[in-house]
Amino acid sequence: MSTLLEVKNLNMHFPIRGGLLKRKVGNVYAVNDVSFQLEAGETFGVVGESGCGKSTLGRTIVRLYDPTSGTVNFNGVDIASFKKKELKDFRRQIQMIFQDPYASLNPRMTIASILEEPFSLHGIGNSTERKAKVKELMALVGLRVTDINKFPHEFSGGQRQRIGIARALALNPSLIVCDEAVSALDVSIQAQILNLLIELQRKLKLTYIFISHDLNVVRYISDRVAVMYLGRVMELAKSDEIYRQPAHPYTKALMAAAPVPDPRKTAITAMLEGDVPSPSRPPSGCPFHTRCPFAQGRCRSELPLPRPFRGDSAHLVACHFAEELMKEAIH
């Protein structure tokens, strides 16, 4: 596999303004020093609590936001360097599926108009060719071609998300960022959409960044998983590895908090106490130390950077004492 996307030391900070003159009085530190590589054909999961910065990370990668610092290299080129024409071409290569399948669709446009719009904006095909392509997209995502003249409110939530997927596929992208793409759907519909995404990935050779707060959903679809907290990556590893042997206390706490879908099994007592600190006033040292039951003095003063866990370069953990905690858990 070849590297499609490389994120290096990415930061996205939003200014806080106050007073009559709206002067800058601080920052919201939404994404902090995030780095990872994404291979072509891979599904890279990003998981964490609400407000951890995962959606901001996705929007910065597709350049809906211009990053504060750091780089996002797509096919070896920094997307921050793109001018208007280059950025328009870049939009054809990377698309996004949004969380709310209704809010992401224009309620005044028919489905035919919504799906035809990307072709019009990029000057692709004539009217007849565009209409034919719209019908192909509808069939591709499992919707009836006869429904193309309906409006978004005439569809169910799952059907609307299929329309959102069809729109993302219109320009034949190589990378799709799925931002909580199934969180607004019923569980049975979630499974259908996830299976559709997997089928489309296999058929069209797509690469995904899959953002979610649901650990089970991320585990089902992802090859590798990054766990985020307060804008930072706490742990990154292959999906099976991170669920079989989580190394960071935050990852373990997330798994303990996840509901157990088996009445014969007893849920693990929650490990997290207190609230997530404000991203405008992050704590010193490890961002998780204010809620970590294993925090020590070093955690309060020294920021742990992602490093190989037990010498495994494919399993990164941002914790000073991950190996010691693992030994204690075994004994």
Instruction: Using alpha carbons only, give the angle 325, 328, 331 rounded to the nearest 5 degrees.
Output: 155
SS3 for 261-303 is CCCCCCCCCCCCCCCCCCCCCCCCCCCCCCCCCCCCHHHHHCC
DSSP string covering 111-141, please?
HHHHHHHHHHHTT-S-HHHHHHHHHHHHHHT
Amino acid at 306: P
> What does the pLDDT average to over 93-108?
91
- Burial class of residue 95, CB neighbours in 10 A (0-12, 13-18, 19+): buried
- Give the model's confidence band at 325: pLDDT under 50 very low, under 70 low, under 90 confident, else very high: confident
- Give the lowest-confidence range in 82-86, 100-104, 268-272: 268-272
HSE-up of 32 (CA within 13 Å, CB side)?
23
168 has a pLDDT exceeding 90? yes
Q: CATH says 3-222 is which class?
A: alpha beta
What six digits make up the tokens of 262?
């088996």
Q: In whole angstroms, give the CA distance from residue 154 to residue 111.
A: 10
Q: In whole angstroms, give the CA distance from residue 306 to residue 314.
A: 11
Amino acid at 53: G
Beta bridge partners of residue 38, listed in sequence order: 5
14 has a pLDDT exceeding 60? yes
Q: Return the domain boundaries, the chain.
A: 3-222, 244-331
Residue 261 has a pLDDT of 62
Residue 209 has a pLDDT of 97
The pLDDT tens digits for 47-61 are: 999 889 999 999 999
The pLDDT tens digits for 261-300 are: 666 655 555 567 778 899 999 999 999 999 998 999 999 9
Residue 315 has a pLDDT of 96
